[in-house]
Amino acid sequence: MIEEVFGKFREWIDNRHEYAKAWKERTGNRVVGYFCTYVPEEILYAADILPVRILGSHEPPTVTEPYIFAMYCHFCRDCLAQGLKGKFDYLDGIVEGQSCLHLRQAFNAWRLHIPIDYTYYIYVPHGVQTIRATPYLTQELSKFKKSLEKWTGKTITNQDLDKGIQILNRNRELMRKVSEYRKTNPPKLTGLEAMEMVLSSQMVDKEEHSKLLEQLLEELPNRKLERRGDVRLMIIGSEDDDRVFMKNVEDLGATFVIDEHCTGTRYFWDNVKEGQEDRLAAIASRYVMRVPCPSKDWPELTRLKHAVHLAQEFNVKGALIIQNKFCDPHGIEIPPLRDALAAVGVQTYPLEFDVTVPWGQFRTRVEAFLEQLTGLEELF
Amino acid sequence: MAEMMTAGVDVGAKFAKVVILKDGQMLARAKALVGFDVLKSASDVFETAVKDAGLSRGDIQRVVATGMGRNAVLQKPPINADESVSEVVADAAGAYQVVPTVKTVIDVGAEEGRGIKVEGGKVRDFVINERCAAGAGTFVEAMARALEVKVEDMGPLSLKSANTIPMNAQCCVFAESEVVSLIHSKISKEDIAKAIHDAIAGRISSMVLRVGVEKDVVLIGGCALNPGFLAPLEKELHTSIIVPEFPEFVSALGAAVIAANPAR
Amino acid sequence: MKAAIEVKEYPSEPLKCWEKAKNLRKDYYDDYLHAHEKGGLRWAGGAWSFSAIPAGLGEDVYCITGEPYGATVAFFKDFASKCHDATEAAGFPRTLCAYMRNYWGSILLDKYILTEGTVVDGYPAPDFIWQDHICCSHGKWYQLVKWLEKKRGKEVPMYSVDVSVGYPSDFSSEEDYKVSYIVEQLNDGINWLEKVTGRKYNDSLLCDAVWNEIKATSLWAEVCALNQAIPAPLDEKSMYSLYVMGTLMKHRPECVAFYETLRNEVKDRVERGVAAVSTERFRVITDTQPPWGFLKIFREMEKYGAVSVGSLYTFGLIGMWQYQPDGTWTPKLMPPRKPQTRDEALQAIVRWTMHKPEWAHFYEPELKTKMMESIVKQWKVNAVLLHYNRGCEGLSLHIAENRFGLIQAGIPVFPFEGNMGDERDFDLAGTMARLSAFFESMGLKKLRE
């Protein structure tokens, strides 16, 4: 039964476009693509719109040079390439929640060059550590809501917003509960399975996804996962959906027991506070106060503190830090992150990712790191 | 009207090419590797071409040089080139000479790749690969050594594969490290050869898309001789591509054409 | 034998205020270094930070702005190389913003470079950081300065203002909340400044500083507008040494005084037909910061009679501009009167600054393309040279779209890759070879070697 659930997550990921098209056909409703997890999906669900995250394909994005300078990260170019190649031609709209510079180029190039019915850019503030950010974002979300109402021709009521909030909160809460089972020794799910759980959530109707999570939670307590080796690893990065890499590392005798990146726990760690009169303010507060993307995390390094806390809570032995080549916000934090983890006894190893990764070279590095963690090098 | 004899000398990164033109018709051509003494290498090739044409140096009225090493032969005996032009301008003129309907020229040589938009033989826009590039001919040669295959066999070998293995097309050093990984993963030589050609085609087409693709598209330069390169390039650009006869000489031809039209 | 190329030669003479510019900049760097000796305060932040606000703390408040400092480091390539090595040894990726790496490198080496290239021991740590955040790196740059200073045993408090509210074409009342968001942060910032410095804030000094900044940035735009003349009285390479005052001290009265002097001198040059480059026959504009270690590229261009008359970067990094009803792009009109209260000053500086031309492309590339098209038309430009600058995510943002838009408008564009602050990423010979091919395709041959 558990294997069926994880199998379903994989099926959803591998056939994401077919799923979205079938969903459109079945419901008669709209599908909107988003680039960054700062887009408040609650409001889209409130408008009966299915939000799906636009992700890349890990093939060299050879069609994007006229639109994006190649020194911007592979992820933003890979996302745009999917649009240019027509993979997302079923989308009715695209929305971006302001975050890093790289991704907004994918949004703008899409807006300028790919025919699409609806586009919207939410000026999500970067100053999330100032008390002024939540009231500001509340105003922005009010504008966004009005724009959606104009597009769909349907008013979004407080009831609708409550529905959207509950759908998102439920899904996030269930994923957090599943994550608890990664604390056990050995963990009850692999890092790859956890990644596929999150990725599939970003691609399908969350109500369907939550049903599967509920089934998973019934079975997980009894699951005995056979693992070769017992090294408990963490993966820390920006956008990371390289499933092949996860599998390859976990085949070497380690398990990723927790992560801190935006196709991982960062996506679902925080909820919207329910029961507030001003729903938009409640949603705004969630997006301001959530575990931040480094592009918004200043002047204090709060994301770092959160990563250290996760490492301790999940009893991590070592962390792989995945730096997407050219990503400034995450790259800037690498030295303080490594220092902070070292201070609590967690060793780290940085790897630079691109659209494809040289597994041969990475294997050497990861194996050496694992040997270092298990103390094997002390034999010689 | 008196016969106009001109010569075009293309001193490239790897090869020097010479074309002798008589009233717009190619009389002779010659090509040889460029050694450390660039002037001597180019001069030897020039003399071979002149001899093959049954002429002497004095019969050539104007010589125009192009290519990376063009300044080495500018007003230096025995070539004494009268003028030098960039490869971009020479490519445009040469491609127009052989395919008058050309609108897009792609020139892929040993080190450099270029995409040129052409109108009536004149350059409208161009792009040249920056330093980060899955290179061109030299990359194929290096990978041929890694696969223990003759460089001239790389293209035909790649055509035997029907598989697609994505490879980093941003940088030839990154791509090379991935090839090493593929070899160690026991991927077949055919598949690796195809991956290499796909990577170069991806990189070149990515660059050419910056200037836009308009038919007729003409492929020239040494890499045009590689049958494994044309197919993935046509696939990436979604267009058929014309490869003229003697594609590696088109730049030199262009220089010779320019020599015949000093007023242009 | 090559025929000699006949070219008209304009009269040319050096700028009279050149020495003044050099000394102003030199003093600025010296003042920051010696600030404590005079009992003054030092702060660090970006060239875009609201520098008028800390001015309310007193007349003895000195700053070093990071981007010009990063550019100074880049100009002296040997020192830059040491800075890069130091930051990479500390574990920072080399693909990060080049100015930032140069700056951090200086701290890691514990050295400070002066304007003529002398490197002195002891990087002068700021007393506080006052920054704003628009690109991914802006706020984080100083977050790491704080982290590095902490490692050196110094606690440096930091405040950064979020300005990422978009680029309104005008401030309709619907967008007042965006202005308020920034004004409120500045108000909070003033309370913070009082707390961390222990000084009482002086609103009168604030109003003076805000008014100076408005004047200085309007004056610089006037200077740039004069370059529409043929021949251009200034060339861009020289303009870098003149606009830099606006990046360092736009809120200072000496900056206003200097730009007044400069504006008058440039006006005089236009009236007398004095050229920056006597053989001007081809006018270009560039974009993004130049490769600071290789400014000779401008002198190489002049060998073709090509002169860069400016760029949106040079005009709009500091200068403030607006569109007239007839569609012309002109220096921005100053507000009718000087602010008298704290709230008036903060409202004024935010409303003024939000129209900074270099902020437009952070949101919509087509806004910048439109401004560049206006510059091409009004400054009578023949071609655009686009520096695909690996060293700056912020200013290279959407550069491919700008290129696309300009080409669609029928404007010849020459793109070249490089790095404003990391000399390893710029190939001068390769770029000049490409540029000469470009000039050739435009019908330009070299006038001299």
Domains of chain B, start order: 5-90+249-260 (3.30.420.40), 100-243 (3.30.420.40)
Q: Do A360 and B185 touch (CB under 8 A)?
A: yes
Q: Does A62 touch chain B (CB under 8 A)?
A: yes
Give residue A91's domain range.
15-162
Q: Does B206 touch chain C (CB under 8 A)?
A: no
Residue, of A371 and C196, whose pLDDT is higher = C196
Does any domain span residue A124?
Answer: yes
Q: Tokens 């393309």 correspond to what residue?
A: C369
Q: Do A108 and C364 touch (CB under 8 A)?
A: yes
Interface test with C, best of A84, A132, A326, A341 (most C CBs within 10 A): A132
Among candidate residues A60, A63, A59, A58, the one with its CA nearest the CA of residue A83: A63
Q: Does B42 touch chain C (CB under 8 A)?
A: no
Q: Which of A61, A356, A359 is facing B167, going by the closest CB pair? A: A356
A-proximal residues of C, 36-55, CB under 8 Å: none
Q: Do B126 and C430 touch (CB under 8 A)?
A: no
pLDDT at residue B135, rounded to an integer = 61
Residue A195 Cα, gap to closest chain C Cα (Å): 26
- Over residues A291-347, the pLDDT tens digits come to 999 999 999 999 999 999 999 999 999 999 999 999 999 999 999 999 999 999 999
- Over residues A123-139, the pLDDT tens digits come to 999 999 999 999 999 99
* Residue B96: both structure tokens together: 């127009």
- Over residues B214-245, the pLDDT tens digits come to 999 999 998 999 999 999 999 999 999 999 99
- Tally of domains in chain A: 1
A-chain residues near C93 (CB < 8 A): 323, 325, 331, 334, 352
Q: Which chain C residue's Cα is nearest to A64?
A: C400
A-chain residues near C185 (CB < 8 A): 127, 130, 132
Beta-carbon contacts below 8 Å between A and C: 134
C-chain residues near A109 (CB < 8 A): 401
Q: Which of A68, A71, A123 is facing C165, going by the closest CB pair? A: A123
Q: Which of A108, A136, A331 is facing C92, going by the closest CB pair? A: A331
Q: Do C97 and A334 touch (CB under 8 A)?
A: no
Dist. CA B97–CA A327, nearest whole Å: 46
Bridge partners (DSSP) listed for residue C417:
C388
Neighbours of chain C (3+ CB pairs under 8 A): A, B
CB contact at 8 A, C76 and C229: no
CA atoms in the 13 A half-sphere facing the CB of A76: 29
Q: Which of C2, C400, C434 is facing B128, going by the closest CB pair? A: C434
Tell me the Ramachandran region of residue C303: left when phi exceeds 0, alpha when psi lies from -120 to 50, beta otherwise: alpha
A-chain residues near C388 (CB < 8 A): 69, 71
- Over residues A158-202, the pLDDT tens digits come to 999 999 999 999 999 999 999 999 999 999 999 999 999 999 999
Dist. CA C33–CA C37, nearest whole Å: 9
> DSSP secondary structure string, chain B?
----EEEEEEE-SSEEEEEEEETTEEEEEEEEE--SSHHHHHHHHHHHHHHHTT--GGG--EEEEESTTGGGTBT-TTT-BSEE--HHHHHHHHHHHH-TT--EEEEE-SS-EEEEEEETTEEEEEEE--SSS--SHHHHHHHHHHHT--HHHHHHHHTT---------S-HHHHHHHHHHHHHTT--HHHHHHHHHHHHHHHHHHHHHHH---SSEEEESGGGG-HHHHHHHHHHHTS--B--SSGGGHHHHHHHHHHH-TT-
Q: Which chain C residue's Cα is nearest to A323?
A: C93
A-chain residues near C365 (CB < 8 A): 108, 112
Q: How many CB atoms lie within 10 A of CB C326?
A: 6
Q: Do A126 and C162 touch (CB under 8 A)?
A: yes
* Residue B260: both structure tokens together: 């015949």
Q: Which of A131, A298, A323 is facing C140, going by the closest CB pair? A: A298
Q: Do A65 and B209 touch (CB under 8 A)?
A: yes
Complex prediction ipTM = 0.95
Dist. CA B209–CA B29, nearest whole Å: 32
A-chain residues near C159 (CB < 8 A): 299
Q: What is the CA radius of gyration of chain B?
A: 19
SS3 A133: helix
Q: Which of B83, B88, B131 is facing C437, going by the closest CB pair? A: B88
Dist. CA A43–CA A23, nearest whole Å: 19
Among candidate residues C311, C297, C305, the one with its CA nearest the CA of residue C376: C311
Interface test with C, best of B75, B80, B129, B130 (most C CBs within 10 A): B130
Dist. CA A376–CA C115, nearest whole Å: 53
Q: Do B205 and A62 touch (CB under 8 A)?
A: yes
Q: Does A66 touch chain B (CB under 8 A)?
A: yes
Q: Do C407 and B86 touch (CB under 8 A)?
A: no
Among candidate residues A209, A217, A152, A228, the one with its CA nearest the CA of residue A181: A217
What b/e sequence results for C81-118 when a residue is b if at least 16 CB atoms lie within 10 Å of its CB, and e otherwise?
A: bbbbebbeebbbbebbbbbbbbbbbbbbbebbbebeee
Q: How many CB atoms lie within 10 A of CB A153?
A: 6
Q: Does A86 touch chain B (CB under 8 A)?
A: no
A-chain residues near B117 (CB < 8 A): none
Among candidate residues B9, B1, B3, B2, the one with its CA nearest the CA of residue B28: B9
Q: Do A67 and C400 touch (CB under 8 A)?
A: yes
pLDDT at residue C170, rounded to an integer = 64
pLDDT at residue B169, rounded to an integer = 54
Residue B213 Cα, gap to closest chain C Cα (Å): 14
Q: Tokens 């649009």 correspond to what residue?
A: A83
Dist. CA A359–CA C381, nearest whole Å: 50
Interface of C with B (CB under 8 A): 2, 388, 400, 403, 407, 412-413, 415, 417, 427, 430, 433-434, 436-438, 440-441
* Residues of chain C with confidence (pLDDT) below 50: 1-3
Q: Which chain A residue's Cα is nearest to B177?
A: A358
Tell me if the bond preceding A186 is cis, omega within 30° of 0. yes
Q: What is the mean pLDDT of chain A?
A: 95
Dist. CA B62–CA C146, nearest whole Å: 67
Q: How many CB atoms lie within 10 A of CB A249?
A: 27
Dist. CA A183–CA A175, nearest whole Å: 14
Kindly give, in sequence order, each residue whose CB lies less than 8 Å from that of residue C441, ignoring residues fewer than 6 positions away: B86, B88, B89, B122, B123, B126
Q: Do B86 and C440 touch (CB under 8 A)?
A: yes
Query: Cα angle at C250 between C245 and C254, to 5 degrees?
Result: 70
Interface of B with A (CB under 8 A): 132, 166-170, 174, 177-178, 180-182, 184-185, 199, 202-203, 205-207, 209-210, 212, 236
CA A55 vs CA A74, A76, A80, C299: distances in Å: 11, 9, 9, 46
Question: What is the mean pLDDT of each successive set of 10 residues along chain B, which is 264 residues long?
Answer: 84 93 92 93 95 93 92 89 90 96 93 89 84 69 88 93 78 73 86 91 87 94 92 94 96 95 74
Q: Do C185 and A130 touch (CB under 8 A)?
A: yes
pLDDT at residue C4, rounded to an integer = 52
Neighbours of chain B (3+ CB pairs under 8 A): A, C
CB contact at 8 A, A272 and A282: yes
Q: Which of C2, C417, C441 is facing B126, going by the closest CB pair? A: C441
Confidence of residue A219 (pLDDT cuts 50, 70, 90): very high
Q: Does B130 touch chain C (CB under 8 A)?
A: yes
C-chain residues near B83 (CB < 8 A): 2
Predicted model pTM: 0.91
pLDDT at residue A376, rounded to an integer = 58
CB contact at 8 A, A169 and A40: no
B-chain residues near A361 (CB < 8 A): 177, 180-181
Q: Does C184 touch chain A (CB under 8 A)?
A: yes
Residue B156 Cα, gap to closest chain C Cα (Å): 34
pLDDT at residue A379, rounded to an integer = 43
